[in-house]
Chain A
C-alpha cells in the first residue's frame, strides 16, 4: 500500500508525546532525517522528532519557514481548525476529552440515558419482529 500522508512543508501533524501533547502543529522545515522544525500559532517555533508527531491528512500552502503572521494567515485560509474538528479523528478526540471530564453525577446520568435508549431500541425491534413474524 503506498503512503498517502507525507512529511512535507505545510503538513499538519498532531503531537503525541511530550509537553505539547495533543496540539496541532505545522511542519515548517525538515532539519535532518529525524527532526522537523515545527510551528503553531500558540507556541514558539521549535524542533521536534518525527516520532513525536502523528501526521494528519491536512496540508496547508506555505513557504519554507514562514513568519508567524504568514503562518496564521495560511492556516486561516486553509481553515485547518474546522477541517480538523469535522474530521473523524478530531471528533473522536473531542469525545474522548469530554468523556474523561465527566463528573460522577454525569456518569450516572449517562448510564440512565444509555439504559433508556437501549430500552426504546429494544421495544422498536420487538415491534418489527412481531410484524415480520
Chain B
C-alpha cells in the first residue's frame, strides 16, 4: 500500500491506559459507520471474498532425517559500509604503514564501495600506482592536495580484482611453459589510466612548494619522535 500522506491520528484518545474517552456508541457515530450504512441501503457493505489461489497438492517428502536437527537462527545482518575517519578527506596525504610501500606518503582519491581507500603516489613522484589500501594501515596527515581536477569515477573494486584465469589443459610438459606465459604484463589501459589521473594531480602538487619532495620521501620514526605526541 502507498505510505499515508497524513499521520494516523486516533479518534479515541486514552484517558488512562486501557480506557478510551468515547463509548462504543460514540465511536460508532464518530467513525461514520451510520453514513456508510445509509449509503449502502441500511446494510453494511459486503465485498465478495477474494478467490483463493489453488493450493498445489504437496507431495510427502522422500526422506525424513533420523534425528530432529535444530535449524540455525536466520542471520539477516547486513554489514555497514566502513566509516571513513574524519581525518581522511579527499586529497589528504596519507602515510602507508605496511606492505610493499610502507612509509610512503600518498594521495587519497576516494573510498571504494568495499571500504578500501583508492590511493595514488602519484606514480611519477614516488612509484605508488593506483592502488587500494585499508584505512587501518594508514596514518592521515593534515596536509591536503587539491584534487578537484581529477576524475576517479571509473575506478571501483572490480577494476582491481584478479582477472579470471583461463583454464589450461593439464599436461606436465606444458605446465612450466604455461606458467611463464601467465606472467601478466600490466595492460596498456591501466598505464594510461595512471597517467591521466596523475597528470592533473602533479600540476596541483607542483603549486605547493616542496610538496613534491615531501611525497617522494618516505616517513620514518627518528630519535626522540614519540608517535603518541606527534601531530600529523
Contacts and interface: CB of A to CB of B under 8 A. Distances in A.
Contacts of B93: 104-105
Interface of B: 93, 95, 105, 141-143, 210-211, 213-214, 217, 219, 229-232
Interface string A98-115: 001111110011001000
A101 B142 CA distance: 12
A104 B229 contact: no
A102 B142 CA distance: 10
Interface bin, chain A = under 10
The SS class assigned to the A binding surface is helix
Interface of A: 100-105, 108-109, 112
Contact of B95 (A100, A103, A104, A112): A104
Given A100-B229, A103-B231, A108 B214 contact: yes
A104 B232 contact: yes
A131 to B, nearest CB: 34
A109 B211 CA distance: 9
The SS class assigned to the B binding surface is mixed
Given A108-B214, A112-B210, A112-B213, A103 B142 contact: yes
Given A108-B210, A109-B210, A103 B141 contact: yes
A101 B231 contact: yes
A105 B143 contact: yes
Contacts of B229: 100
Nearest to A105: B143
A94 to B, nearest CB: 16
A102 B231 contact: yes
B142 to A, nearest CB: 5
Contacts of A101: 231
Given A103-B231, A105-B93, 6 more contacts: A102-B231, A103-B143, A104-B93, A104-B141, A105-B211, A108-B213
Contacts of B141: 103-105
A113 to B, nearest CB: 10
Top 6 A-B pairs ranked by shortest CB distance? A105-B143, A104-B141, A108-B214, A104-B232, A103-B142, A109-B210
Nearest to B219: A104
Nearest to B141: A104
Contacts of B231: 100-104
A103 B232 contact: yes
A98 to B, nearest CB: 11
A92 to B, nearest CB: 17
Nearest to B144: A105
A53 B89 CA distance: 43
A8 B93 CA distance: 53
10 contacts: A102-B231, A103-B141, A103-B143, A105-B141, A105-B142, A105-B143, A105-B211, A108-B210, A108-B213, A109-B214
Q: Which of A102, A105, A112 has the most CB of B within 10 A?
A: A105
Q: Which of B143, B210, B211, B231 has the most CB of A within 10 A?
A: B231
A100 B232 CA distance: 10
Contacts of A109: 210, 214
A75 B105 CA distance: 48
A101 to B, nearest CB: 6
Contacts of A103: 141-143, 231-232
